[in-house]
Amino acid sequence: MIYLFLSILASSIIFLVFKLFDTFKINTLQAIVVNYLIAAASGFLAYEGSLELKSILSNSWLPGTLFLGVLFIVIFNLMAITTQRSGLSVVSVATKMSVVIPVLFGLIYYKEASGILKITGILLALIAVYLASVKEENKTQKVPKNLLLPILVFLGSGIIDTSIKFLEGRYVAEADIPLFSAMIFSSAFCLGILALLYQILIKKERFEIKNLLGGIALGIPNYFSIYFLVRALRAPGLDSSTVFTFNNMGIVMLATLIGLVFFNEKLSRKNWLGISLALFSIVLIALVKSR
């Protein structure tokens, strides 16, 4: 149970760090690029095999890591912007509710059994993303910016989870999972460097030490959120549906609590209803998985 708590804590700290980026005027892109360097280094250190370039390039899953690298850096930037504009509760719900996308993929691709609980959970999750994201001041806009960003985070996060599930299940050996993860982070880092060079050389932006520190602060919880989740899944007495249910609910509730206590975030009745529906839909989907 301690590993599950630490996974929830680490994941919530990611959203907290994003919020602090805005407070300390940290360059989001620069910090995210550093974050992926830290995460990649952690993956390479965890890999027990030989790190030969020829062997790495021969893996069938390599093109998938390049695709995921693009998604990682784009979605992480969107998560940071969403956190700063809409708040911790909004981005946490949008991210965790993306679980419906791999569920739908499983129904269609793997021909998994469906039922009234799973379908209800998926529909409630989609409604929850809208209700938790909409802000009162945007009522007059046809497509509110504060709503568009969480939707993009929702879709992108779901595609990432689905792609990782597909690639790991079909192409990645268990022993290669740390290397596979490291190559995703490495791809995101390399793509981020290109964007970073554009910022520095074309837009004449300076690379500051505070952005390096921000990246380290982000990279460490980013890595350990995955590490502790894997340890929780391997802990005796906890099945995966229980772990994922409490992990997702815990992140939504803790991120919301942090936003309320430390950042004075205001939530409307629609936001509270969305968060409640989000937690309820997670439970419904988990109940189906546990059957």
Give CA–CA dist 70/66, Å, rounded: 7
What does the pLDDT read at residue 210? Answer: 93
Q: What whole-number percentage of the chain has pLDDT above 90?
A: 14
Give CA–CA dist 132/135, Å, rounded: 8
Task: Work out the average pLDDT over 253-265.
Answer: 81
Could you give phi then psi for residue 213, rounded to 5 degrees? -65, -40
Q: pTM for the complete prediction?
A: 0.76
Per-residue pLDDT reduced to its tens digit, 72-95:
888 988 888 888 787 777 777 787
Give CA–CA dist 20/54, Å, rounded: 41
Per-residue pLDDT reduced to its tens digit, 8-19:
899 889 888 988
What does the pLDDT read at residue 155? Answer: 92
Give CA–CA dist 150/98, Å, rounded: 10
Q: How many CA atoms lie within 13 A of 266 on its CB side?
A: 4
Per-residue pLDDT reduced to its tens digit, 159-210:
987 888 788 778 888 788 888 888 988 999 998 898 888 888 888 788 889 9
Give CA–CA dist 268/261, Å, rounded: 16
As given in the structure block, the two tokens for residue 163 are 């792609």
CA angle 68, 70, 74 (to 5 degrees): 115
Res. 240: pLDDT tops 70: no
What does the pLDDT read at residue 140? Answer: 47
CA angle 165, 218, 15 (to 5 degrees): 75
Confidence label for 156 from pLDDT (cuts 50, 70 and 90) = very high
Long-range contacts of residues 232-235, Cβ cutoff 8 Å, at least 24 apart: 232/1, 232/3, 232/4, 232/7, 235/1, 235/3, 235/4
Task: Work out the average pLDDT over 36-51.
Answer: 88
Residues sharing a CB contact under 8 Å with residue 203, sequence separation 6 or more, in sequence order: none
Residue bearing tokens 């760090």: 17
Q: What is the mean pLDDT of the chain?
A: 81
Q: Are 69 and 104 in contact (CB under 8 A)?
A: no
* Nearest to 42, CA basis, from 75, 16, 10, 1: 10
What does the pLDDT read at residue 29? Answer: 84
**Residue 50 exposed, middle or buried by CB count within 10 Å (0-12, 13-18, 19+):** exposed
Give CA–CA dist 15/29, Å, rounded: 15
What does the pLDDT read at residue 38? Answer: 92
